Amino acid sequence: MSVNMSLPLQLVVAFLTCFVIVSHSSSLNKVLFDGDYEFIDLTYPFDAETIYWPNTRSFEFTKKDEGYYEDGSWYAANEFAAGEHGGTHIDAPYHFDAQGKQVGDIPLEKLIVPYDSSMLIQIGTQKSFFIELTSYYVCKAGLYNLENVKLDSDVPEYGCTAFVMPMKIRKGTGAPVRLAAVCPKRKLPDRF
């Protein structure tokens, strides 16, 4: 359905929309980028070493084009293929629950959340029955599960926000995730 508006009204609406977005983003930017927060990457890179569950296609990376054209310009593009459940990734509720949400159904407000170390499950290089059992109950509860989180950084226990950014595979049972924690920087007191 389209709404007919006069041009001046359209301009007013456009201006107000911009004003709201700018005013909100500038305050969020101030919080995030004034130097008091650190960004901690909790993601393993995807390459030939990435671990995958059995019977799952490992990460296949194919170089397609890479080089200079005659005019001196550079162009590079590759292809990749992989199973859903490998490396740092998300298990959508649908992974273990036929009525559960698929990756593409998980709303953003459920993916940018207070960081809680208990939600981050590390399987390292071991493929553990325990982890799969945990994932089963997490998914059955309508929650998502994160696997193979890179936990070699010292993440503060309180005050962090987790950004869980899976590849938005519409019908996915899981997906690769870029996972980050944004945390207040820890500072030593000026004086004791």
Match 């869980």 to its residue by tokens: 164
Residue 100 engages Zn ion in binding (rule: CB under 5 A): no
Q: Which of 91, 93, 138, 179 binds Zn ion (CB under 5 A)?
A: 91
Segment interacting with Zn ion, rule: CB under 5 A, options 21-29, 96-104, 110-118, 169-177: 169-177
123 forms beta bridges with: none
Q: Burial code of 94-118, b = ≥16 C-beta within 10 A, e = fewer?
A: bbbeeebbbbeebeeeebeeebeee
- Shortest spacing between CB 21 and Zn ion, in angstroms: 35
- Shortest spacing between CB 152 and Zn ion, in angstroms: 20
**Which of these, 137, 138, 163, lies nearest to 149 by C-alpha position?**
163
Name residues whose C-beta falls within 8 Å of residue 153's C-beta, 6 or more positions apart in sequence. 40, 41, 42
Region at 125 (left for phi over 0; alpha for psi -120 to 50; beta for the rest): alpha
- Please give the distance of CA 150 from its chain centroid, rounded to a whole number: 13
Residue 174 engages Zn ion in binding (rule: CB under 5 A): yes
- Shortest spacing between CB 145 and Zn ion, in angstroms: 7
- Shortest spacing between CB 65 and Zn ion, in angstroms: 32
**Which of these, 113, 129, 80, 128, lies nearest to 179 by C-alpha position?**
113
Q: Which is nearer to Zn ion, 174 or 176 (CB)?
A: 174
Residue 85 engages Zn ion in binding (rule: CB under 5 A): yes
- Shortest spacing between CB 82 and Zn ion, in angstroms: 12
> What x-and-dash track marks residues 123-162 binding Zn ion by CB under 5 A?
------------------------x---------------
Segment interacting with Zn ion, rule: CB under 5 A, options 36-44, 88-96, 112-120, 123-131: 88-96
Q: Point out which residues bind Zn ion (CB under 5 A).
A: 85, 91, 147, 174
